[in-house]
Amino acid sequence: MDVVHAMKLYINKMVDDAGPGIKALLMDKETISIISIVYAQSDMLQKEVYLFEAIENYVPRQESLKFVKCIVFVRPTEKNITYLIRELKHPRFSQYFINFNNIISKTDIKALAEVDEFEVVKDVQEFYADYLAINSHTFSLNVKSCYQNVNHWNPISFQRITQGIISILLSINRCPLIRYQSSSEMAKRLAEQIRQTIAKENVLFDSNTSTESQPILLILDRKFDPITPLLNQWTYQAMLHELMTIVNNRISLANVPGIQKELKEIVLSQDQDEFYQKNLYLNYGEICSNIKCLMEDFQQKTQQQKKIETIADMKAFIETYPQFRKMSGTVTKHVTLIDEICRIVNANSLLEVSEAEQELISTGNHSESLKRIQLLISSDKIRNCDAIRLTLLYALTFHNHSNCDTRGLCRLLERRNMNPGDIKIINQLLEFCGLKNKQQRTSGVGGGIGKSTISTQELLTTTEHVRAFTKKVIKGFKGVENIYTQHIPVIKELIEDLNRCRLRETLYPFLGSVQQRERPQEIIIFIIGGITYEESLTVYNMNRQLQGIKILLGGSIIHNSKSFLDEVRCACQYHSETSISSNTGAGSNVTVGALASVINKIENL
């Protein structure tokens, strides 16, 4: 279940099938990202791919490139079929090897065949590479907004995410049993659509059903854990995304004062950057220590390069120069990144902010947490975005506390002369999580068994009782040496329960009558509304710790706190619009996924 390996196999086969000779690669905007995240341009040049073009940017040319073969790698969309028809009517290349990264309809293939009057199309294939392979255990579909409103799908995103998950399953050659979060109508609808697509494309999936223990595909809604995307991060990859935003393995430093021209955009690659690969999951202190060692090693090698006195010295210099130059680039890149991280952390008191965040969510001490947050929000040392995040974390953690003072914190935010629209996100997030109107009624925690219902108020009043069990439920708070990384994402508890066959079917039911009683050997988790690098790290660690089990994590997008809140705003902005859901009563459901998972854990103690 290594998605990077699967992606590279597809790309290699595409290039190899075109044979030797000069080749062009014709892509769309999405497949450009898909390829660039696993292969550098220099890698493609070594495969004799010298020309790279976006199919959307087609410009009619009088000159032909009849000595060049064209590898086409695009999504099977209506627009791309139109672009291909235009290309084949006036072919510029000698041969076309057309590769779609998902299932293509027979109608579209027929349309392409009809316009291939010059018989330049040599092959048409499906390669199921319709996702971004972030690392071996993590993938993203790069869909920025899933929600048409807080409970229903954006129709375009629904189709795209269905296609992406089908692509993942086919690329890793798996046909899973499907489970979903019962409190999310969106999760249920996606699960049903995936099952229908698997049944429709049964020929593609039939070969994958013979395994003794079928994988589990668990579909979750981001509402099950809204806290994780809001926290400051202190491991290297997660910090870079939170503070600077990683987009397709690239970070823009164009707005950093005094930045050198060649460093305005930095490319991060686990394959080509050994320092990044080794420090990906290390914490802030370890990274700073390791970059110091890297610099000292580089300085030592620099001194050695200056001592060229003999022919032997010159020969040694020539042999080691490529490695020396690569090391120079690595040092410059990571010193620049870590220097910018340090600047942001120190300028905005992020250590102090993060400590308050962690104590807030891990100790459950209302009065102490409130005092500390009030002091921080009243201070001009922290950014407005951090003041809002602290308020959001407080509102989520203590929404049912008898002395909850979210309104008081909002008044402090107003004194910072913040835009009222920015403060509005607090109510929007509570609405997104189903906590804004506590008097609403929701389907029972049992996932809709019978006609029993329980009020949100009744369910939420258990929060205080849950707190007494927190140290048993969420392992790791006691004795944690690093106070900045106390938080453990909810996903860890769900994976542990799945591994022990103790995940309650009333909260996370199987789709259909087929069920699995034995311990799963493979787990695929997909989160509607996005994942985080902290959750990716959790899965990485669990893959190393749990014997005999493989876990793959994916989501609609990889969030930092800013992008997560943008998604929440988008969901709440269109809350009154109609949805594609056939269940008209779904709009009144209140999501209580985070609390439900805690209750599930307690009942299994």
pLDDT score at 64:
82
Q: How many residues appear in the chain?
A: 605
- Cβ neighbourhood burial of 421 (10 Å; 0-12, 13-18, 19+): exposed
Specify which residues 252 forms β-bridges with.
Answer: 265
User: What is the band of 482 on the pLDDT scale with cuts at 50, 70, 90?
Assistant: confident
Domain range for 298: 236-347
Residue 465 belongs to a domain? no
Across residues 478-502, what is the average pLDDT? 83
Same domain, 339 and 370: no
Closest CA to 392 of 530, 232, 558: 232
The separation between CA 588 and the C-alpha centre of its own chain, rounded to angstroms, equals 28
Domain boundary (302, 327, 347) is at 347
| Three-state SS at 270 | coil
Tokens of 226: 């809204």
Q: How many CA atoms lie within 13 A of 289 on its CB side?
A: 5
pLDDT tens readout for residues 155-194: 999 999 999 999 999 999 999 999 999 999 999 999 999 9
- Cβ neighbourhood burial of 547 (10 Å; 0-12, 13-18, 19+): exposed
The span from the CA of 152 to the CA of 62, in Å, is 49
Domain boundary (297, 320, 347) is at 347
Please check whether residue 220 is in contact with residue 528, taking contact to mean a CB–CB distance below 8 angstroms: yes
Residue 526 belongs to a domain? yes
Residue 381 belongs to a domain? yes
Same domain, 447 and 583: yes
Residue 479 belongs to a domain? no
Across residues 239-245, what is the average pLDDT? 97
Specify which residues 93 forms β-bridges with.
Answer: 65
Same domain, 283 and 181: no
H, E, C per residue of 25-89:
EEECHHHHHHHHCCCCHHHHHHCCEEEEEEHHHCCCCCCCEEEEEEEEEECCCHHHHHHHHHHHH
Residue 527 belongs to a domain? yes
User: What is the band of 555 on the pLDDT scale with cuts at 50, 70, 90?
Assistant: very high
Report which listed range, 89-98, 252-261, 565-574, is most confident. Answer: 89-98
pLDDT score at 324:
63
Across residues 345-363, what is the average pLDDT? 93
pLDDT score at 15:
96
Backbone angles phi, psi at 259, to 5 degrees: -70, 140
pLDDT tens readout for residues 365-410: 899 999 999 999 999 999 999 999 999 999 999 988 899 999 999 9
Residue 472 belongs to a domain? no
What's the pTM value of the predicted model, to 2 decimals?
0.85
Residue 510 belongs to a domain? yes
Which of 429-443, 456-470, 535-549, 573-587 has the lowest average pLDDT?
A: 456-470
Q: Tell whether the model's pLDDT for residue 595 goes beyond 80.
A: no
Domain boundary (130, 152, 170) is at 130
- Based on its alpha-carbon atoms, the radius of gyration of the chain, rounded to whole angstroms, reads 26
Please check whether residue 355 is in contact with residue 483, taking contact to mean a CB–CB distance below 8 angstroms: yes
Q: How far is CA 68 from CA 13, 27, 51, 72, 85, in A?
A: 18, 16, 9, 13, 19
Transcribe 475-542 into DSSP letters.
Answer: TTSTT-S-GGG----HHHHHHHHHHTT-S-TTTSPBSSS----SPPSEEEEEEET-B-HHHHHHHHHH
Determine the straight-line distance between the first and last CA of the chain, rounded to whole angstroms: 31
The span from the CA of 261 to the CA of 253, in Å, is 10
Residue 571 burial (CB count, 10 A): 25
Q: At what angle do helices 425-432 and 561-573 cross, to 10 degrees?
A: 80
Same domain, 140 and 121: no
pLDDT score at 208:
53
Give the H or E element holding residue 212: none
Q: Tell whether the model's pLDDT for residue 579 goes beyond 50.
A: no
Pairwise pLDDT comparison (94 vs 213), residue with the higher score: 94
Specify which residues 218 forms β-bridges with.
Answer: 179, 525
Same domain, 106 and 243: no
pLDDT score at 437:
57
Pairwise pLDDT comparison (269 vs 300), residue with the higher score: 269
Residue 162 belongs to a domain? yes
pLDDT score at 235:
95
pLDDT score at 461:
32
Same domain, 493 and 393: no
Q: Tell whether the model's pLDDT for residue 61 goes beyond 70.
A: no
The span from the CA of 460 to the CA of 397, in Å, is 11
Same domain, 20 and 115: yes
| Three-state SS at 259 | coil
Q: What is the DSSP letter of 322?
A: H
Encode 245-255: b = buried (16+ Cβ within 10 Å), e = exposed.
ebeebebeeee
What's 562's domain CATH number? Answer: 3.40.50.1910
Same domain, 399 and 327: no
The span from the CA of 510 to the CA of 500, in Å, is 16
Q: Tell whether the model's pLDDT for residue 57 goes beyond 80.
A: yes
Residue type, 332: T
For the chain, give the percent of residues with pLDDT over 70: 82
Q: Tell whether the model's pLDDT for residue 241 goes beyond 90.
A: yes
pLDDT score at 307:
59
What's 24's domain CATH number? Answer: 3.40.50.2060
Backbone angles phi, psi at 446, to 5 degrees: -75, 10
Residue 203 burial (CB count, 10 A): 7
Q: At what angle do helices 155-171 and 185-200 cross, to 10 degrees?
A: 50
The span from the CA of 61 to the CA of 158, in Å, is 38
pLDDT score at 588:
35
Same domain, 173 and 213: yes
The span from the CA of 26 to the CA of 472, in Å, is 55
Same domain, 94 and 188: no
Same domain, 268 and 153: no
Q: How far is CA 178 from CA 168, 174, 196, 508, 531, in A?
A: 14, 12, 12, 10, 19
Transcribe 575-603 into DSSP letters.
Answer: TTS--S-S-GGGGG----HHHHHHHHHHH
Please check whether residue 531 is in contact with residue 140, taking contact to mean a CB–CB distance below 8 angstroms: yes
pLDDT score at 503:
92
Angle ∠(170,172,175) on CA atoms, nearest 5: 60
Using the structure block, give the residue that is written with the tokens 């139109």.
Answer: 82
Q: Tell whether the model's pLDDT for residue 592 goes beyond 70.
A: no
The span from the CA of 353 to the CA of 347, in Å, is 12
Tokens of 141: 């579909």
Number of domain units in the chain:
4
For the chain, give the percent of residues with pLDDT over 90: 68
The separation between CA 483 and the C-alpha centre of its own chain, rounded to angstroms, equals 25
Residue type, 572: C
Q: Given phi > 0 = left and psi -120 to 50 = alpha, else beta, which region is 587?
A: alpha
Q: How far is CA 557 from CA 142, 143, 157, 529, 554, in A?
A: 5, 6, 11, 7, 8
- Cβ neighbourhood burial of 546 (10 Å; 0-12, 13-18, 19+): middle
pLDDT tens readout for residues 3-37: 999 999 999 999 999 999 999 999 999 999 999 99
Closest CA to 388 of 412, 356, 423, 417: 423
pLDDT score at 483:
84
Compute the mean pLDDT over every residue in the chain, rounded to the nearest whole number.
Answer: 84
Same domain, 198 and 327: no
What's 307's domain CATH number? Answer: 3.90.830.10
Specify which residues 65 forms β-bridges with.
Answer: 93
